[in-house]
């Protein structure tokens, strides 16, 4: 399966979500020579744990995201600058996602799950899932040529899938995932115990997969599979 994913597009709300949700998979795909592109909706400007950090946090998180890119081998990251805790499924955001899908022309999309407790995660899940469909229609001609992305998967951040449809072995790249999260120093006080959570979840999913570590995904059924 991974062999057929040459261009991969990841939608994430905040600069650390792609690490928690699919960092090991990103690192594995990058090591295979695949191109992985990340679209980050928000700068994460509310993620400060002390009042003194408030005016500096957005720039800190931008630098941390760049460090993460180097660790995981992310080819390109776009930060849209949407307000943290204020992402909405409006026309502008929807069409921007359509444009980005047509621009990157991915073989697979990874995005948030619409049952996550974070409001930004839920909004992004819905808008990107639907944008995958609209990107394939022969509309919005000024936003690029129509493109059909064969697969879209949700990844886990705060809420866990009761019945995942895909488990990817990340045993060989779990250290990269851990190292990528270590670049997010500003968030350790915001997310106490996050390193233990990441390792524990990877072990749980690895147990189900029959490997030391794994990441879980749930396939979208919004569009049919073409054969």
Which tens digit of pLDDT belongs to each residue from 173-209? 999 999 999 999 999 999 999 999 999 999 999 999 9
Q: How much of the chain exceeds pLDDT 90, in percent?
A: 91
The CA distance from 140 to 133, in Å, is: 13
The 3-state DSSP class for residue 163 equals coil
Distance CA 25, CA 30 (A): 8
> 83: which DSSP letter?
P
Closest CA to 205 of 173, 152, 163: 163
DSSP label at residue 139: -
Q: If you search the block for the tokens 């090591």, which residue do you land on?
A: 31
The pLDDT score that the predictor gives to residue 46 is 86
- In the chain, pLDDT over 70 holds for what percent of residues? 100
The pLDDT tens digits for 92-139 are 999 999 999 999 999 999 999 999 999 999 999 999 999 999 999 999
The per-residue pLDDT for range 59-76, each reduced to its tens digit, is 999 999 999 999 999 999
Cα 121 to Cα 127: distance, rounded to the nearest angstrom = 10
Tokens, residue 15 = 């600069």
pLDDT higher than threshold 80 for residue 227? no
What residues form DSSP beta bridges with 76?
Answer: 37
Rg, the chain, Cα only: 17
Residue 159 backbone dihedrals phi, psi, to 5 degrees: -110, 145
For the domain made up of 2-219, give the CATH fold.
Rossmann fold (3.40.50)
Q: Say whether pLDDT at 53 is over 90.
A: no
Position 226 confidence tier, pLDDT thresholds 50, 70, 90 = confident
């Amino acid at each position: 399966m991974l062999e057929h994913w040459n261009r991969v597009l990841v939608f994430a709300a905040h600069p650390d979500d792609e690490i928690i949700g699919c960092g090991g998979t990103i690192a594995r795909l990058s090591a295979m020579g695949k191109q992985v592109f990340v679209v980050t909706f928000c700068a994460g400007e509310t993620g400060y744990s002390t009042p003194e950090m408030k005016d500096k946090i957005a720039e800190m998180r931008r630098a941390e995201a760049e460090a993460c890119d180097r660790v995981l081998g992310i080819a390109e990251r776009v930060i849209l600058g949407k307000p943290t805790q204020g992402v909405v499924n409006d026309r502008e955001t929807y069409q921007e996602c359509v444009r980005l899908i047509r621009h990157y022309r991915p073989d697979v999309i990874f995005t948030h799950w619409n049952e996550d407790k974070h409001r930004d995660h839920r909004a992004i899940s819905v808008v990107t899932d639907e944008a995958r469909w609209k990107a394939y229609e022969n509309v919005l001609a000024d936003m690029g040529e129509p493109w059909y992305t064969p697969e879209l998967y949700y990844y886990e951040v705060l809420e866990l899938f009761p019945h995942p449809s895909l488990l990817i072995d990340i045993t060989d790249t779990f250290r990269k995932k851990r190292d990528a999260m270590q670049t997010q120093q500003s968030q350790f006080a915001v997310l106490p115990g996050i390193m233990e959570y990441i390792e524990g979840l990877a072990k749980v999913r690895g147990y189900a997969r029959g490997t030391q570590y794994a990441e879980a995904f749930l396939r979208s059924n919004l569009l049919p599979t073409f054969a």
